[in-house]
Amino acid sequence: MKIARVDAIQPETPGSPPDWRTQLGQIIVRVQTDDGLTGWGVGGGGRACIHVAETVLRDLLVGADPSDVEGLHAAMFDHTSFYGRKGLVIMAISGVDLALWDIRGKRLNRHVAQLLNPEVEFGRGIPTYCTVFDDDEAETAFTAGHVAIKLHVERFGDDPDVSAIVSLVSRTRERLGPTAQIMVDAFARWTLQTSLEVADAIAPFQIEWLEEPMLPDRLGDYRELAKQSPIKIAGGEHEYTAGGFRELIDLGVHHILQPDINWCGGMTTLVEVYRLAKDAGLQVCPHRGSEPFSIAAIASIDPTPLAESPRRWFRCLTGMPDDRGVGTQLQPGIGFGVDVSEQVKIAFENHAD
Ligand SMILES: [Mg+2]
Distance 187 CA to ligand 1 centre (A): 6
- Phi, psi (rounded to 5 degrees) for 335: 70, -130
Distance 104 CA to ligand 1 centre (A): 30
For 176-189, write each residue's pLDDT tens digit.
Answer: 999 999 999 999 99
- Where, residue-wise, is CATH 3.20.20.120 in the chain? 128-308
**Size (the chain), residues:** 353
- Where, residue-wise, is CATH 3.30.390.10 in the chain? 3-109+340-349
CA–CA distance, 338 with 92 (Å, rounded to integer): 19
Distance 264 CA to ligand 1 centre (A): 14
What kind of architecture, by CATH, is found in domain 128-308? Alpha-Beta Barrel (3.20)
* Sheet hosting strand 207-211, strand order edge to edge: 283-284, 256-257, 233-235, 207-211, 181-185, 148-152, 128-132, 307-308
User: What 3-state class would DSSP assign to 307?
Assistant: strand
Distance 313 CA to ligand 1 centre (A): 16
Catalytic residues: 287
pLDDT, averaged across the chain: 96
The CATH number for 3-109+340-349, chosen from 1.10.3720.10, 1.10.10.10, 3.90.1150.110, 3.30.390.10, is 3.30.390.10
For 331-350, write each residue's pLDDT tens digit.
Answer: 999 999 999 999 999 999 99
Distance 116 CA to ligand 1 centre (A): 26
Instruction: Please state the pTM of the whole predicted model.
Output: 0.97
Q: What is the 3-state secondary structure (H, E, C) of 149-169?
A: EEEECHHHCCCCCHHHHHHHH
CB atoms within 10 A of CB 264: 32
Quickly list H helices, 80-134. 88-108, 112-116
For 56-91, write each residue's pLDDT tens digit.
Answer: 999 999 999 999 999 999 999 999 999 999 999 999
Ion ligand 1 neighbours, Cβ < 5 Å: 185, 211
Distance 43 CA to ligand 1 centre (A): 17
Q: Which of 152, 20, 136 is nearest to 88 (CA)?
A: 20
